[in-house]
Structure 1
Amino acid sequence: MLKKGIGILLIAGGIIFGVTCTGLLFTEGIFYFFLLFLLAFPLFMAGQWLRIGQTLRKQSLVKFTSIFVQVTLLIPSIFLVFNNYAKLKNETFAREGFLWFQPTSSPTIGLIGTLLLIALVLSIMPKILFGWTHGGKQLTGLILSLFVLTAAFLFITWNDYQAIHEEEGIVVSTWWGKQQTVDWSSVESVEITPYVLKRVANKYSKEPVFAWMFEFKQTNGDRISFKRTDLSTYNLEQSQRVKEQIEKENIPLSVGQMDEATTKWYELELQMENLNPDPFNEFFNK
């Protein structure tokens, strides 16, 4: 029983390490490809050996190798494609003068896309774990339907985004083709609000992360918000440029005070990312 438990832990560790290596492979280089198969894969196979408590036969080796490759390469690749889709939108629509680009004009659009992606991945998992014949035509049909639906959704919402332009103000483009520009003179006030966002970590839990939001209140009462998570020098510089432009336009600007919980996650992320707190404290008026 103990060996089986240790085996399951090693399997989970191998998969997590493998998925991490795949993600870093596309950004940090080929070194992580070798880590994937020299460390993550042996860890995964050692776990399988302990779990089943017997020598791995050729058929089992092929099966477990296939599972490892598909879980650590196919699934992360799907998420990377989704992430690169947002980057491609940025590169396509961003133009000179954009201070901030957000790939969706509404949180609902982003949520629907994320849910479709998760549903697609979850529907594929049984095929990966139990073989591509598992689930029969019904599961295959579901996967194909979700794939087509996700692809169609991404195609339909290609033109959907919002941005902040240093001269034009706020640019909003909806998925049905309507584009609206809110010039700076139509912005009554702006508030920067730091808060804790409960981001989905896995099927059973949500992970608190520090986030902040620019909320633009228009003279007609409408509001447009831009949100950002993940403390980094790049995100700070981008936010600082927006803040400076707001001040340049003589628009009233306020920064919300952090409560105890928000301060906790703010300071924790600064430490985890090894960031100099001074410029961040200055931005958030701490």
Structure 2
Amino acid sequence: MKAIVCTALACALGSAHAAQVAMEDQSQLKVPPASQAPVFMPPAQSELPDNAFGKMVRDGYALFVDTQRLAPAYVGNGMKCSNCHLDQGRMAHSAPLWGAYPMYPAYRKKNDKVNTYAERIQGCFQFSMNGKAPAADSHEISVLSVYSYWLASKAQIGVEPPGRGYPDVAQPAGGYDIARGKQVYQQQCALCHGADGEGQKVADDYVMPPLWGKDSYNWGAGMHRINTAASFIKYNMPLGKPGSLSDQQAWDVAAYINKHERPQDPRLVEGSVEKTRLKFHANDGVNLYGQTVEGVLVGQGTGK
């Protein structure tokens, strides 16, 4: 579902033809498989200068890997940035920051507007971390933006690099099966994420993220889409064994995970799951929000 990007020249001219050109939706962007091209290598920490810029990069790194503890006012669950962007945001095919930063500003269908990179980060706080968006000029957004810029500092601006995002994993011909997904979860995922998706803690800090329940991502997060979760799982999980699951297993276990309750979509329309489904979820990939699964309405939220 690639759309044609409106060029700067066409947009500036404001021609009737340009007005009809659909802008690219960054939230659903598909990227090439790992085998097609070598991926970008971000700079090493040893290359950081010992000055004010280097300090901001290090501050951004610290916040990225320890978000809940360092930004408690903005995080409402047990997640941190590095749960979805592995290897401190450096790993190809795990939505690396070096693949995201050069592609913004960009139109996103999710909120039907051109988003700055700061707004993209704000959305992660609101949805993936079920919290509150820091101000665009806040310390939190500033240091995360500087960290992202540094990782992408040797990349081309506006050129989609191999390894960006999560590579698309097409839905199997037979669809997905939640019962099979439960078996995959028990065999491949429960050791780290818990039998009930509760994650693992050391003292009060999560060392393995919860996959559902009150401390997981909410119903507005991109990972609630079965297709997005399947892509992340296929290329990154189980930890240390990426690519070991088949496409079918990735889709099945993604469906099993995302049939469980989690915090409500913060965009809830008039307290109605059905109105929220129609406005935000009906055309948002493959998801179970607002559907009845095993006799239960999915999307009622956990109350947090």
TM-score bin (small chain) = under 0.3
Q: Which has the higher helix share?
A: 1
- Pick the structure with greater CA Rg: 1
TM score, norm. by length of structure 2:
0.22
TM score, norm. by length of structure 1:
0.23
Whose relative contact order is higher, 1 or 2, with alpha carbons under 8 Å and at least 6 apart? 2
